[in-house]
Structure 1
Amino acid sequence: MLISIVAPCYNEEEVIERFHEEVQKVAEELLPLGHDMEFVYVDDGSRDRTLTLLEHLADLDPRVRYVSFSRNFGKEAALLAGLRHAAGDCVVVMDADLQHPPELIRRMVDLRGQGYDQVIARRTRNGDRITRTLTARLYYRLINRLVDVELVDGGGDFRLLSRRAVDAVLALTEYNRFSKGLFAWVGFPGTTFEYENAVREHGRSSWSFRSLLNYGLDGLLSFNNRPLRAALYLGMGLLLCAGLYTAWIVGAALVNGVQTPGYVTIITAVTALAGVQMVMLGVIGEYTGRIYYEAKRRPHFLVKATNVERSEERAQRGTTKDLIP
């Protein structure tokens, strides 16, 4: 069985060689069991020496494949590129910063041998700040009530996918991608095991609070239309409240005569309704914006450099779809 390791990279010059050493050790352990391995690195427009080091690794190890983007297109595009260029019978997706322990690949392969198409490494939240833990749990509880698929708290991109699971994910060609949801949407038999996340050895994570918030909103909007349905329900509720309030005002005027309405009440009602309208317009705008990007049909990424050959087999799977001619 050929196992493809797909690792997106962004400014990982301090750790990429160490990462490759670790996955090489795993490859040597699996070789006597009849498993070969290839390494697919996707340079997501790094500004440091990441691409230079990947080219050096490719010269030293013929199993190394690398793809370098023309600019930073984001991790979702990098994951898509890695899956398109992976030729393995199964694919292990992981980060190149060593926070995903490479020694767990052996356990994933063993579970794959039991017939699972997806083997998901679910990290515990031991050592995380309590505020981050509570926020994450609240988010997953909320999103699982809203979206059409079930997302596992702590289940990220670190997972093994069988070839048919990979092909199913690649068949989903939408521009706005949320891989956690896509992996859950394709289904197939899967299993989960827990691990403790390793501490990042070098550099800082590129995930800021703002990027995490946007990523969470992507997950919320990509797999359901409930926010739009909520806008409809809220509008109907406000219309009902307005009708009841109007009836109450008319009834009070008939019984007690006309009274001058309070200034504070009017200002509060107008401000609240304006805020609700802006929120609803924002929700509609988010969905409209996604339709706008989908309608453009731009490629998910553009490749600046690669050592992956454009074979007919990969072309049929869409591997070279986004390469620059």
Structure 2
Amino acid sequence: MPTLNEVALHAGVTPATVSNVLRKKGRVGAETRQRVLEAIAQLGYRPHLPARALAEGRAPTIALMVSSIANPFYPEFALAVENALRRKGQFLIICNTDGDPQTGRAYLDQIAGTLSEGVLVMNANLDFEDLRTTELRGAPVVLCMWERPLDPPGLPCVAVDFRLAGELAAQHLLSQGHRRIGAIVGSKVYGIHAARYDGFVDAMQAAGLDGAAAPVVYAPDTTQGGYAAARDLLKAHPDLTALFTTNDLPALGAMQAAADLGLEVPRDLSVIGITDIQLARESRPGLTTVAVPTVEAAELAVELLLELVEAPENGARGDGPGGARVCVTSKPRLVVRGSTGEASTR
């Protein structure tokens, strides 16, 4: 396999110039750049990433840590991150923690600062002190899709107003005449979906209803969790005409449970989710949901992390606690499909 030095010799330039062309950095004239690219193509050169990392003292990769790659949202987010990184000449490593903090710490110890020069963290159930330790070791960390923009975490983050998403979902159901609404929360009481449920309660109270008194079940953030929660809610409260769920997967499970109980969606029961994953668009009926700006969040996270990689001192320049950078995405938006309709009179 040809080496970088051989490419340089073939193109009549220095190895540093070849490196600059590959990394899309430095000042290289158009003619010289073209000559280098032609040499790379003619020789069939492929960069050796570990050698490049050793030579440059940094890895051209970023790690993305997620709690469960089995959740369809995370692959969609990872694809958006990968696309953004590829445009920057970077590569992506995906680390699946399965929600286990010990696995997450092992990834941080083994990858951050060696195989990856920065870490994006998406609901990976990691202790913030472990993340701060990773920063001190020279690998910047950015939290992705933080759910409370007005309560930043003290680490650089990209935030989405999920409380507003919960409000929009509840307002839609209320606008359809629903008053007997159950809630399925895909986390623990004070878990990552708490802000979404808070938004639901806010909207119910604004409409003169006691949102906190609405029937609620806290369940796993899965299709199966939503199925079991909806079945329990509908058996205990057969007068419910709608279900608010804090994520799309439980919403899809709730629709399955309704069907198994002989209820037709949306004639007998309306169901709404949050996120707008691909499955929400493909289900029948299509799932009404509140879409969050997934691609925008991924691009902002990549941009912020790479800025911190290039200039770590900027990590402390921002409006969040301790000066940590906080980027807020555009607002969530309601997407109406076939799973919601006017309240039934059953």
TM interval, short-chain normalised? under 0.3
- Larger Rg, first or second structure (1 or 2): 1
Name the TM-score, length of structure 1 as normaliser: 0.24
Name the TM-score, length of structure 2 as normaliser: 0.23
